[in-house]
Structures are given as structure tokens and as C-alpha cells.
């Protein structure tokens, strides 16, 4: 009984798309792709129940649906609002949304330490990208930022709570991937923190995934901390036979050395498949892996900057501008210079050159 | 003397106990419902009464009840929100302390109407002694066959459980309350789904305020249509107002919603005027979350009409010149009070009570508190006032639950109506820590806004 499903027509920033009922606005926008996709700091498509917290993905629903065309009174979190047939959404076309998003970014950065120069997440940090795209130049916050002590939670994971933006992703990860969640959110309001209450080691075969889902540098890989900047490393796709997980990973290498292993992330920074801790922390010998080829990093990431994928040789522009003529030498500076005397061979001067060497009457 | 429906028997000695309550006409409404009415009829009666939610939002209760999803084979729940934590509001406490059986009776009728066999009272953690009163009332009701299995031979089963909160303001928000009731961290849920579809244990749930549920009893007793004759327009019935601040007679008053604010504030029957012969400066008419109004806008609306104690009249003028009925926490400030200091203490409260789930509220409330702290202590700058305005604007409407709005509104209203006082604080940094701004022009009659041509 292959009954054809009715698709909902949605218009986001005046671009139409047909999606299945039950799709969220954010995922509908991702189906369109490009600039109109709202940023998301807390939503993670692979984690059930995530989203709605960071408020960066706020959009304006200008028309509720075909049946009820009233606009929604408030901005809505696109990651948690499902589409209706005939819905019209404004994201980058709404100044109200842009303004609100700017506000949210300012709030998120309020207590963030901005220690990017010493943060391992720098270069692949979603908050950096978000701040770059939507943030202001400076902060208006003139007070002390909240700080926490760094904690080693487990052998391989470092918790740097000061950087946390409380997206709850790691909580959902532990809930849904591991047998037992041993960390959670303690305290409330500004004092809310990720923690284990009584310092306890997070120890589980899949707990390392909290590092991958963390949008900022709050949870970092202790086997990689301070070893290298991510943009100096070459990411390659690799796989191995693993009896716990899919074994499909990205190796971050320099030369023959594997610096770290992560899951494969798509352009929204979400992993394709979660990997186990054995692959992530304990398999760092090239011999253990079958390398497939270079990993394509297609975000506008600094990682791609020093990378060999997609590099384009700069175009010669002068001949274009001059309509095909070659540039002509107008003047040779050496022939008119009062300082440089062509008669004196620089390499013949003994020691460092001195103005005396160039005096005309010398 | 205003007519009373809820507190008319509150003065009777021992009304707390079943025998006295029953002897004074208690459980008559429950009897009427169980013997002669169907659940639909009860809902219809509540709809006719025009009863509006007394917790703050003022949503029509009958409508809320009719939204409840009724899928087959799934239990439905009624939850009584007794997590009354709004600064300035203490009416539910009074009801539960003095008339616990009124609440139990209201819960019984409402549970019957909604088909809930397990009803919960989620009570504020700080009300440490009230659960005992309620438990005792529940035990008495059970002994007399008003709770338990097969109530009064009708085949309707009901158990009422009292659950204590742990002292978080946010757990008064209905979805946070449900989370907390389920034993989790009290973070508000993201809506939709609404509790009427997926609430407690993912089942359809109605969450109502104590006063709303208690008001169901007089509605059944006198009939929905008769109840609707109390009050003015869409503000039907009576409302409990917790009056506090600089007044002669603070306390819980039941008012019929047809008196003016002036009468409520100055008549001897209610607040009895401002204490110590001072003059009125400002008032928050509906609990800490609603906008503050200066004296001239409190007694008269911007149109020059006298402001009434009704949902509509208090809201007259919207945010620009009105306020809200809210939960009925009537906080009065006299001429010696400092609005900046007052706003700071509210901002501090919301900062302390923010759950920290969504970023605008988590970060913004603390920021507002710190900026206000600077202004109050003579360290403010002129730009801080605009900054505050900008922060509150970016919090309001962008959060998961209404706590963000509740934190933003008092600050917004204080700046809107009392900007001079904020500026005075900035310009007189040394003086502002020693003395107050005083009444200034806040009680002067307002020039009537002329109609735009």
C-alpha cells in the first residue's frame, strides 16, 4: 500500500520547498541550503529532544499555514517548530530576526572567555563562526565574566566550563548513546554548569562523542589538547574494523602522525555516525587504519585555508584590465635613484652597507 | 460591602476541618455534580461563567478545559499549581491555609469534569506547613467518601496527591512544573506540544491555579450564568488580591471585579489608603512580573477614565500606559520608595530564578541586574539606561517560557515611566545613595491625549 505522502509546501525567505509533514523549519531550510539556513548552536539532528535552547535559530513565521494564515506572534525557534502546509517564514529577509539574532549572539558571548588563541576548538568552533557572521565588534558588558575551574572528567575528556554555552547536547548524547549518564546540568540561571556533582570520571565506550557534539571548546580531547592547531592538520577519511562502532572516522594528521581522531562531520557540524572511544582515543597508529582519501571540509572554515582541497590558482588580472596588452615597464627606479648607484656592486661591500658607501663623491 | 464567593466563609472558626466545612454548605457543589451532572455539563457551566485563569495569564478556563485531548486508553491528569512564588502574591497560601476543603472540592469537581483519576497539587517548597494542612483535608475527605474509589457510589475514582517543590520560581511555569513533578530538573518544555496534548507522563494534562480551581465550587453552586453576572464584561466573578507595600491594611482581599483601583486602594473596606499619611507614588497592580505604573496612570487611564480592577481596564493602554491583572499581587509604593532600587530587587529576583536553559534569559537577567546595581549605587552612566532598554527588548519574546518576558517587563515599564528618576540617579551619583528622588511629578494629573486629527 504505497500511498503517496502529501508534502507540505513551505516558503522560506521567498524560496519554496516541499517537505514531509513533521519536518522542522530548520530542516526544511537545510533542504534548500545556502545563506537562508538559520544557525543552530544547540540543535543536533542526531540527538532526540535537542534544540530550542540557544535561540540563535529564531525565525519569523509571517504566515502560519494555508488553513490559518495568521502570522505567529513571537519569533519561533526554527529547530523545534514543525512546518505547516503553506507556511511562510522569514529568516534573512526579516530585520527583526537579524536584530534578535544579534542580541542572542551578544548574550552567548557575554560570559564566554574569548580565549580562542589558547582554545583547542578554535578553527572549528561554532561560536566563532556565529560571532563572525552575526556578532558585534565589541561587547557592551562591563562586568566580570563568570569563571569555573577546569575539571578532568574521565581519562580522556577535559571540561572547561567557562567556555560552555549550555546547549545540553552532551547531556543528550550521554542519555542516548551510553548506558548511564553520569553528568548533567547543576545549578540554575547564570550559575548553571555541566558537572558530575561529585567529581566522577565519565567512563563509557561512547562518552567521547560529547567532544564532537560540543559546539565550543568546553569539552576537549585530552589526548589532543595543545598538540596542534586544527588548521595545521590534514583531515583524511579513514576506516577500520571496529566491533563497537561503525569505524568510519576522520584522522587529523601531520605527516605520518595521527594527532586526533574524530567522527565525520557534515557541513552543519553534525556527525554522520557516532564513534566509540577505542577508535577515538586509543587507535592512533596509521597501521590500524585504511585511509580513504582527503576529507572535504566544506564550511567556510579556516581548516580549508591551508588545505589542498579546492585551492584555486589566483587569476592573472593585469592583462584582462589592459585588454590583452602586457604591462610595460614605465621607469626603472635604479636609473634615476639618487641613493642607489649602479656603479657599486652591493655584494662587494665589506660588512653591512653604510650611507658612506653610496656617497656620490666617494 | 462587596459580594464574596470564595472567602465568604473564611471567618468561620474551624472551617479548616471537614465537619465545620460540611455543616456550612461544603461539598454541596460536589454532591450536585456527582449526582446530577455529566462532565460535559460541568465544562459547559465553567465556560458560561467566563472564569479566567487566576494564575496570571487570564486565559478562559472553560476554553482551556475543552482543549484537553481525549485519546482512548490514555489517562488524563489535572494538576493544581500551588507553586505561588511571584513576589507580592500570597492569595493561594491564604486559601489553602484557611479553606483547604474548598480547594479539595474544586479539585474533585474539576477532576470529574476532565476525567482525571489522579490529581496532583504541586505546592511551593517554601510553604512547608501547608502540605500537612492539605494532607489532613485529603484524609478527612477520603474518610467521608469524597475521595478514593467509587466516590459517593458514582463509580468515579479520584486520588489527590500533594507534591512539594524544592523552591524554584520557575516551577510555577506549567511545563516546568510538569517536569519537576515527573522528578526531573524543572526546565520549561518547548511548546508545542502543549500540556493539553502531551503533559504529565506524556499524557493530556490541565494545569490550573489554586484560585481558579477553588472558583469552580461557587460556579457550580450558583450556576455559571449567575457567576458571570459578577464583575464587568469579560472579567467575571471575584478575584483575590494580595495587597502589600505601603498601605494601612495589607492582606488578602476578595473583590468583585467592578470596583475602581482608587476605591480598592483608599476605601476602608480594602487597603485603607497609604500608610503614615504619605502620598502614592507607584503601584504594581498584578504581581512583580507586570509593568509598574506611576500614580497618575494607576488611578486614571491615559484616556482620563477611572481605572477599574478588571483584566481589561488594568490592561488599558497596553504596555505604553497600562499594566496587567496578573496574579493579583498589588504592590504599593509610597513617595519614599525608590523605583530604581525597587527595579533592582526585582531584577535580582529574576536573575536568581532564571533556570538557565535558554541564553537570552540566562545571560540577560544577570546583565540587567548588574547595570541596575551600578545605577542604584551612583556608578551609572547615561548610556546605561538605553543599554538596559536594549537588553530587555532582546530578552522579551525570545525565550522559551514567559520568565524572560516577566524579567523584561518590570525593567521596561520602570524606564518608560520613571526615566527621570533613573537620570537623576546618574546625574547625582553622590546624592542618590543618601536620599530618594521622592514623588516628583508622578502623581500630577496627566494632560489628556488629544485625539489625533
- Please report the pLDDT score of residue A339 as a whole number: 62
Please give the span between the terminal C-alpha atoms of chain B, in angstroms, as a whole number: 44
Residue of A nearest to B189 (CA): A52
A47 CB burial (10 A radius; 0-12, 13-18, 19+): buried
Q: What is the domain-level CATH number for residue B368?
A: 1.20.1440.230
* Shared-domain flag, residues B419 and B400: yes
A299 pLDDT more than 70: no
Which residues are paired to A263 by β-bridges?
A249
A198-213 confidence digits (pLDDT tens): 767 777 888 888 999 9
Sign for the pseudo-dihedral over CA of B239, B240, B244, B247: positive
pLDDT digits (tens, 9 = 90+) for A122-161: 888 889 889 988 888 888 888 999 888 888 888 888 899 9
Q: Quick check: A165 contacting B, CB < 8 Å?
A: yes
Question: Do residue B176 and residue B113 come from a single domain?
Answer: yes
Q: Is the peptide bond before B193 cis (omega within 30 degrees of 0)?
A: yes
Interchain CB contact of B286 with A (< 8 Å): no
Contact B381/A at CB under 8 A: no
Structural domains in chain B (count) = 3
Subunit contact A52:B400, Cβ cutoff 8 A: yes
What's the CA gap between B104 and B133, in Å, rounded?
Answer: 11
Residue of A144, A173, A148, A168 whose CA lies nearest to A160: A148
Using CB atoms, which residue from A55, A143, A184 is nearest to B359? A55
In-domain check, residue B24 = yes
Name which of B168, B360, B363 is nearest A111 (Cβ-Cβ): B363
Distance CA B430, CA A157 (A): 51
The sign of the torsion formed by the CA atoms of B51, B55, B58, B63 equals negative
Domain boundary among B297, B314, B334: B334
Domain co-membership, B83 together with B215: yes
Contact status, residue B120 vs residue B234, Cβ threshold 8 Å = no
Of B396, B178, B193, give the one whose Cα is nearest residue A80.
B193
| Mean of per-residue pLDDT scores for chain B | 90
CATH at residue B60: 3.40.50.11540
Give the chain B residue nearest A42 (alpha carbons). B358
Q: Give the containing element (helix H, strand E) for B306.
A: none
Which DSSP letter does residue B413 get? H
pLDDT above 90: residue B365: yes
State the smallest CA–CA distance between residue A74 and chain B in angstroms.
6
Residue A362: which pLDDT band, with cuts at 50, 70 and 90?
very low
**Which residues are bridge partners to A152 per DSSP?**
A158
DSSP for A281-322 reads HS---GGG-EEEEEPP--SS-HHHHT-STT--PPPP-HHHHT
Distance CA A69, CA B314 (A): 31
pLDDT score of B170: 92
The answer on B164 and B222 residing in a single domain is yes
Give the model's pLDDT for residue A333.
67
Tens digit of each residue's pLDDT (9 = 90 or more) over B202-255: 999 999 999 999 999 999 999 889 999 998 888 899 999 999 999 999 999 999
Residues 76-135 of A with CB under 8 A from B: 77, 80, 99-100, 103-104, 106-108, 110-111
B366 CB within 8 Å of a chain A CB: yes
Tell me the DSSP string of A91-117. STT-HHHHHHHHHHHHHHHHS----GG
At residue B57, the pLDDT reads 83
Q: How confident is the model at residue A184 (pLDDT cuts 50, 70, 90)?
A: confident
Cell of B246: 505601603
Q: Which residue has the cell 490529581?
A: B119
- DSSP bridge pairs for B332: B245, B283
Q: Are residues B37 and B181 in the same domain?
A: yes
Are residues A106 and B394, on separate chains, in Cβ contact within 8 Å? yes
Tell which of B171, B196, B229 closes a domain. Answer: B229
Both B84 and B199 in a single domain? yes
Contact A107 B394 (CB under 8 A): yes
| CB < 8 Å to A185, chain B | 185, 356
- Residue B303: which CATH number? 3.10.20.600
**Alpha helices (H) in chain A, listed in sequence order:** 25-32, 95-110, 126-134, 169-177, 209-213, 277-281, 302-305, 318-321, 333-336, 355-358
Distance CA B343, CA B330 (A): 16
> Residues A52-109: pLDDT tens digits?
899 999 999 998 888 888 888 889 999 998 898 889 999 999 999 999 999 999 999 9
At A64 the pLDDT is 87
| A167 and chain B in contact, CB less than 8 A | no
Q: Which bin fits B25, alpha (ψ -120 to 50), beta or left (φ > 0)?
A: left
Domain membership flag for residue B411: yes
Smallest CA–CA distance, residue B187 to chain A, in Å, is: 9
Residues of A in contact with B366 (CB under 8 A): 189-190
* Whole-number Å distance between alpha carbons of A25 and A19: 10
pLDDT score, position A331: 73
Q: Residue written as cell 569563571? A: A147
User: Cα(A241)–Cα(A289) distance, rounded to whole angstroms?
Assistant: 8
Question: How sure is the predictor about B131, in pLDDT bands with cuts at 50, 70 and 90?
Answer: very high
Asked if B362 and A107 come within 8 Å (Cβ–Cβ), the reply is yes
Q: Do B398 and A100 touch (CB under 8 A)?
A: yes
Average pLDDT, chain A: 84
Contacts of B367 in chain A (CB under 8 A): 107, 110, 141, 143
- Answer yes or no: are the C-beta atoms of B52 and B233 closer than 8 Å: no
Both B296 and B349 in a single domain?
A: no
Phi first, then psi, for residue A89 (nearest 5°) are -125, 140
Q: Is residue B1 part of a domain?
A: no
pLDDT tens, position by position, B33-44:
998 999 999 999
Do residue B314 and residue B416 come from a single domain? Answer: no
Q: How far apart are CA A24 and CA B309, in angstroms?
A: 43
Residue A310 pLDDT: 57
pLDDT tens digits, one per residue of A264-273: 988 888 888 9
Measured in angstroms, the CA of A249 and the nearest CA of chain B are apart by 32
- Residue B79's pLDDT band (boundaries 50, 70, 90)? very high
Give the separation between CA A297 and CA A311, rounded to whole angstroms. 12
Which structural domain, as residue segments, surrounds residue B92?
A: 18-229
Q: Does residue B444 lie within any of the structural domains? A: no
Q: How far is CA A361 from CA A344, A351, A358, in A?
A: 13, 21, 9
Backbone phi, then psi, for B193, in 5-degree steps? -70, 145
Q: Cell triple for residue B128?
A: 512547608
Closest by CA position to B361, among listed B347, B376, B372, B341: B347
H or E element, residue A270: none
Residue B118's pLDDT band (cuts 50, 70, 90)? very high
The predicted model gives A217-245 an average pLDDT of 89
Question: What does the DSSP assignment read for B234-294?
Answer: TEESEEEEEEEESBSS-EEEEEETTSBHHHHHHSTTTT-SBGGG--EEEEETTSTTSPPEE
Q: What gap in Å lies between CA B402 and CA A229, rounded to an integer?
A: 42
Torsion angle of C-alpha atoms B360, B365, B367, B372, degrees rounded to 10? 150
Which residue, B164, B198, B229, sits at the end of a domain? B229
* Rounded Cα gap, residues A40 and A163, in angstroms: 17
What is the interface pTM, i.e. ipTM, of the complex?
Answer: 0.86
In the prediction, which pLDDT does B11 show? 87
B273 and B215 share a domain?
no
Contacts of B352 in chain A (CB under 8 A): 189
Note whether residue B445 is domain-resident.
Answer: no
**pLDDT over threshold 70, residue B157:** yes
Dist. CA B78–CA A166, nearest whole Å: 32
Q: Looking at the structure, do residues B208 and B304 belong to the same domain, yes or no?
A: no
Q: Which candidate, B192, B1, B177, B351, places its Cα nearest to that of A192?
A: B351
Whether B291 is covered by a domain: the verdict is yes
- Contact at 8 Å (CB) between A51 and A80? yes
Task: Give a yes or no: residue B76 inside a domain.
Answer: yes
CA atoms within 13 A on the CB side of B441: 7
Q: Which residue has the cell 519561533?
A: A76
Tell me: do B27 and B125 sit in the same domain: yes
Of the candidates A77, A80, A188, which has its C-beta nearest B168's C-beta? Answer: A188
Residues of A in contact with B354 (CB under 8 A): 188-190
Could you give the CA distance from residue B80 to residue B98 in angstroms, rounded to a whole number? Answer: 17
Dihedral Cα B374, B375, B380, B383, nearest 10 deg: 120
Asked if A75 lies within 8 A of B190 by C-beta distance, the reply is no
Residues B119 and B221 in one domain: yes
Q: How far apart are CA B266 and CA B262, in angstroms?
A: 6
With 0-12 / 13-18 / 19 or more C-beta atoms within 10 angstroms meaning exposed / middle / buried, residue A355 is: exposed
Residue B251, by phi and psi: left (phi above 0), alpha (psi -120 to 50) or beta?
A: left
How far apart, in whole angstroms, are the C-alpha atoms of residue A229 and residue A215? Answer: 17
Higher pLDDT pick, B367 / A155: B367
Q: Please tell me the distance from the alpha carbon of residue A322 to that of residue A338, in angstroms, as a whole number.
A: 32
Rounded to whole angstroms, how far apart are CA atoms B356 and A186?
Answer: 10
B408 in A contact zone (CB under 8 Å) = no
- Assess if residue B412 is contained within a domain: yes
- Residue A1 pLDDT greater than 50, yes or no: no
Amino acid at each position: 500500500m504505497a500511498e503517496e505522502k502529501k508534502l507540505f509546501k513551505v516558503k522560506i525567505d521567498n524560496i519554496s520547498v516541499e517537505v514531509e509533514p513533521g519536518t522542522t523549519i530548520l530542516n526544511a531550510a537545510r533542504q534548500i541550503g545556502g545563506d537562508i539556513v538559520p544557525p543552530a548552536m544547540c540543535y543536533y539532528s542526531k540527538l532526540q529532544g535537542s534544540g530550542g535552547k540557544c535561540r540563535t535559530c529564531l525565525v519569523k513565521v509571517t504566515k502560519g499555514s494555508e488553513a490559518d494564515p495568521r502570522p505567529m506572534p513571537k519569533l519561533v525557534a526554527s529547530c523545534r517548530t514543525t512546518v505547516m502546509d503553506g507556511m511562510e517564514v522569514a529568516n534573512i529577509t526579516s530585520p527583526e530576526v537579524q536584530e534578535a539574532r544579534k542580541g542572542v549572539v551578544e548574550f552567548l558571548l557575554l560570559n564566554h572567555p574569548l580565549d580562542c588563541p589558547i582554545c583547542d576548538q578554535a578553527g572549528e568552533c561554532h561560536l566563532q563562526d556565529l560571532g563572525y557572521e552575526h556578532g558585534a565588534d565589541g561587547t557592551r558588558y562591563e562586568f566580570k565574566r563568570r569563571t569555573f575551574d577546569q575539571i578532568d572528567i574521565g581519562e580522556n575528556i577535559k571540561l572547561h566550563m567557562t567556555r560552555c554555552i549550555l546547549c545540553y547536547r552532551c547531556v543528550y548524547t550521554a542519555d542516548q548513546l551510553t548506558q548511564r549518564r553520569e553528568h548533567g546540568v547543576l545549578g540554575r540561571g547564570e550559575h548553571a554548569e555541566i558537572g558530575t556533582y561529585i567529581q566522577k570520571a565519565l567512563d563509557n565506550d561512547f562518552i567521547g562523542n560529547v567532544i564532537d557534539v560540543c559546539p565550543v571548546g568546553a569539552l576537549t580531547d585530552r589526548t589532543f589538547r595543545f598538540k596542534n592547531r586544527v588548521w595545521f592538520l590534514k583531515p583524511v577519511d579513514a576506516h577500520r574494523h571496529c566491533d563497537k562502532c561503525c569505524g568510519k572516522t576522520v584522522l587529523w594528521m601531520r605527516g605520518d602522525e595521527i594527532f586526533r581522531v574524530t567522527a565525520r562531520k557534515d557541513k552543519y557540524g553534525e556527525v554522520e555516525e557516532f564513534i566509540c572511544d577505542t577508535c577515538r582515543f586509543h587507535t592512533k597508529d596509521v597501521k590500524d587504519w585504511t585511509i580513504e582519501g582527503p576529507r572535504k571540509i566544506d564550511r567556510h572554515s579556516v581548516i580549508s585555508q591551508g588545505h589542498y582541497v579546492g585551492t584555486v590558482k589566483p587569476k592573472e588580472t593585469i592583462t584582462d584590465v589592459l585588454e590583452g596588452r602586457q604591462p610595460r615597464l614605465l621607469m626603472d627606479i635604479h636609473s634615476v635613484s639618487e641613493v642607489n648607484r649602479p656603479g657599486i656592486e652591493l655584494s662587494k661591500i665589506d660588512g653591512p652597507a653604510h650611507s658612506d658607501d653610496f656617497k656620490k663623491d666617494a | 460591602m462587596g459580594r464574596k464567593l470564595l472567602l465568604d466563609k473564611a471567618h468561620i472558626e474551624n472551617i479548616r476541618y471537614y465537619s465545620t466545612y460540611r455543616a456550612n454548605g461544603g461539598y454541596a457543589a460536589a454532591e450536585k455534580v456527582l449526582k446530577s451532572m455529566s462532565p460535559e455539563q460541568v465544562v459547559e457551566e465553567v465556560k458560561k461563567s467566563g472564569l479566567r485563569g487566576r494564575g496570571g495569564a487570564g486565559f478562559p478556563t472553560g476554553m482551556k478545559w475543552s482543549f484537553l485531548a481525549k485519546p482512548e486508553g490514555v489517562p488524563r491528569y489535572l494538576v493544581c499549581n500551588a507553586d505561588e512564588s511571584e513576589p507580592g502574591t500570597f492569595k493561594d497560601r491564604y486559601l489553602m491555609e484557611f479553606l483547604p476543603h474548598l480547594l479539595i472540592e474544586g479539585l474533585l469537581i474539576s477532576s470529574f469534569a476532565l476525567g482525571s483519576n489522579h490529581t496532583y497539587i504541586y505546592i511551593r517548597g517554601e510553604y512547608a506547613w501547608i502540605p500537612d494542612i492539605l494532607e489532613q483535608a485529603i484524609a478527612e475527605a477520603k474518610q467521608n467518601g469524597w475521595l478514593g474509589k467509587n466516590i459517593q457510589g458514582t463509580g468515579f475514582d479520584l486520588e489527590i496527591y500533594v507534591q512539594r517543590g524544592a523552591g524554584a520560581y520557575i516551577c510555577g511555569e506549567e511545563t516546568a512544573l510538569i517536569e519537576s513533578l515527573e522528578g526531573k530538573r524543572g526546565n520549561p518544555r518547548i511548546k508545542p506540544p502543549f500540556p493539553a496534548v502531551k503533559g504529565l507522563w506524556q499524557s493530556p494534562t490541565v494545569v490550573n491555579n489554586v484560585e481558579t480551581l477553588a472558583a469552580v465550587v461557587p460556579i457550580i453552586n450558583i450556576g455559571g450564568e449567575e457567576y458571570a453576572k459578577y464583575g464587568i464584561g469579560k472579567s467575571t466573578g471575584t478575584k483575590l488580591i494580595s495587597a502589600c507595600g505601603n498601605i494601612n491594611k495589607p492582606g488578602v482581599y476578595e473583590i468583585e471585579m467592578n470596583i475602581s483601583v482608587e476605591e480598592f486602594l483608599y476605601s476602608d473596606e480594602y487597603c485603607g489608603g497609604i500608610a503614615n499619611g504619605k502620598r502614592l507614588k507607584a503601584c504594581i497592580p498584578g504581581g512583580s512580573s507586570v509593568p509598574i505604573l506611576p500614580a497618575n496612570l494607576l488611578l486614571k487611564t491615559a484616556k482620563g477614565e477611572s481605572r477599574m480592577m478588571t483584566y481589561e481596564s488594568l490592561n488599558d493602554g497596553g504596555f505604553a500606559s497600562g499594566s496587567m491583572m496578573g496574579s493579583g499581587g498589588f504592590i504599593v509604593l509610597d513617595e519614599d520608595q525608590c523605583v530604581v532600587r525597587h527595579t533592582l530587587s526585582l531584577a535580582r529576583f529574576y536573575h536568581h530564578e532564571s533556570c538557565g536553559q535558554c541564553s537570552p534569559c540566562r545571560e540577560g537577567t544577570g546583565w540587567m541586574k548588574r547595570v541596575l546595581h551600578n545605577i542604584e549605587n551612583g556608578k551609572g552612566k547615561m548610556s546605561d539606561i538605553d543599554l538596559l532598554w536594549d537588553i530587555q527588548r532582546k530578552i522579551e519574546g525570545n525565550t522559551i517560557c514567559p520568565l524572560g518576558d516577566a524579567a523584561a517587563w518590570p525593567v521596561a515599564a520602570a524606564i518608560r515611566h520613571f526615566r527621570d528618576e533613573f537620570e537623576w540617579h546618574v546625574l547625582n551619583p553622590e546624592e542618590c545613595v543618601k536620599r530618594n528622588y521622592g514623588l516628583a511629578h508622578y502623581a500630577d494629573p496627566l494632560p489628556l491625549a488629544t485625539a489625533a486629527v
